[in-house]
C-alpha cells in the first residue's frame, strides 16, 4: 500500500519538485494515509480498515520497492519460514478434488458498501487469475507461470510436496517481496485447504497433470 500512497502523495502535492516518486516525503505519505483512512465511514467494519495497515514484511517491501537488499531479503525469507504452519495430521498432500474447487473460487475478500461479502462467502485461492493449471480451463491468467503438468515436472517426493506447500503458504520464504498472496500466513486458507491445493498441483490423477 505504501507504494500506492507515494503515487497519491505526488498527485496531491504538485507544487513539490518531483523526480519520479521522490516527491512523496514522509509528511506527504502520512497525510495520504490519513486521507485513505478517513475515506472509510464510521459504519465500516473494523476488519476492513485494519487491512490498510502493513506488517513488517510489507513495510520492508514497500521501503525497498520490492527489491530488497540481500540482507533484508534474507530476513524477510527467514521470517516467512518461521511463520509456516502445517495440518495437524502432518499430511501435506490432500484431496485434489477439493483443491480443484478451491483453485477455481474467486469470491471472498470483497469490501465496500455496494457489494461486500455476504455472510459465509466461500474463500478460495483464485489460482486461475494468475496461472494456467488444468489444460481444459480456457479462462486462465498469465501473470504467473503456467502450472499445467506441474506435477509431472515436480513429482510427489516428500521434499517436493513440502516445498510446494510452503510456497503456497508464504511465498516470501523463497522469493522475498513476491507478489504471490501469502495464503496461509494471512489466514486466507487453512493448512488443510493448502494441502488440497498442493494435491491439485501434484497428484497424477489431477486434471492439472492430464
The b/e string for 70-99 (b: 16+ C-beta within 10 A; e otherwise) is eebbebbbebbeebeebbeeeebbbebebb
Q: What is the pLDDT of residue 151?
A: 97
Q: Please state, in angstroms and rounded to a whole number, the distance separating the CA atoms of residues 99 and 208.
A: 11
Q: What is the pLDDT of residue 42?
A: 59
Cell numbers for 57, please give them: 514484511
pTM exceeds 0.75 for this model: yes
Contact yes or no for 66/177 (Cβ under 8 A): yes
Cell numbers for 130, please give them: 494468475
Q: How many CA atoms lie within 13 A of 111 on its CB side?
A: 14
Q: What is the pLDDT of residue 119?
A: 74
Q: At what angle do helices 56-63 and 70-82 cross, to 10 degrees?
A: 160
Listed residue (96, 161, 153) closest to 127, CA to CA: 96
Q: What is the pLDDT of residue 74?
A: 97
Listed residue (130, 135, 146) closest to 178, CA to CA: 130
For the chain, the structural domain boundaries read: 2-82, 96-209
**Class for the domain spanning 96-209:** mainly alpha
- Would you write out the chain's pLDDT as a tens digit for each of its 210 residues? 444 444 444 444 433 334 444 445 678 877 877 887 777 665 566 666 677 778 999 999 989 999 999 999 999 999 999 999 999 999 999 999 999 999 999 877 766 656 666 777 788 999 999 999 999 999 899 999 999 999 999 999 999 999 999 999 999 999 999 999 999 999 999 999 999 999 999 999 999 999
Q: What is the pLDDT of residue 44?
A: 60
Amino acid at each position: 500500500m505504501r507504494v500506492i500512497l507515494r503515487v497519491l502523495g505526488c498527485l496531491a502535492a504538485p507544487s513539490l519538485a518531483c523526480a519520479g516518486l521522490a516527491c512523496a516525503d514522509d509528511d506527504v505519505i502520512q497525510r495520504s494515509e490519513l486521507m485513505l483512512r478517513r475515506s472509510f465511514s464510521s459504519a465500516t467494519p473494523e476488519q476492513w480498515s485494519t487491512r490498510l495497515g502493513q506488517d513488517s514484511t510489507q513495510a520492508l517491501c514497500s521501503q525497498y520497492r520490492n527489491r530488497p537488499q540481500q540482507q533484508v531479503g534474507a530476513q524477510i525469507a527467514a521470517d516467512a519460514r518461521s511463520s509456516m504452519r502445517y495440518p495437524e495430521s502432518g499430511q501435506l498432500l490432500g484431496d485434489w478434488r477439493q483443491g480443484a474447487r478451491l483453485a477455481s473460487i474467486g469470491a471472498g475478500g470483497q469490501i465496500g458498501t455496494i457489494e461486500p461479502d455476504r455472510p459465509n462467502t466461500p474463500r478460495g485461492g483464485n489460482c486461475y487469475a494468475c496461472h494456467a493449471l488444468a489444460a481444459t480451463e480456457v479462462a486462465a491468467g498469465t501473470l504467473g507461470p503456467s502450472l499445467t503438468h506441474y506435477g509431472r515436472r515436480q513429482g510427489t517426493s516428500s521434499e517436493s510436496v513440502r516445498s510446494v506447500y510452503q510456497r503456497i503458504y508464504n511465498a516470501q520464504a523463497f522469493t522475498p517481496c513476491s507478489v504471490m498472496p501469502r495464503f496461509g500466513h494471512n489466514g486466507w486458507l487453512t493448512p488443510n485447504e493448502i494441502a488440497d491445493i498442493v494435491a491439485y498441483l501434484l497428484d497424477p490423477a489431477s486434471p492439472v497433470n492430464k
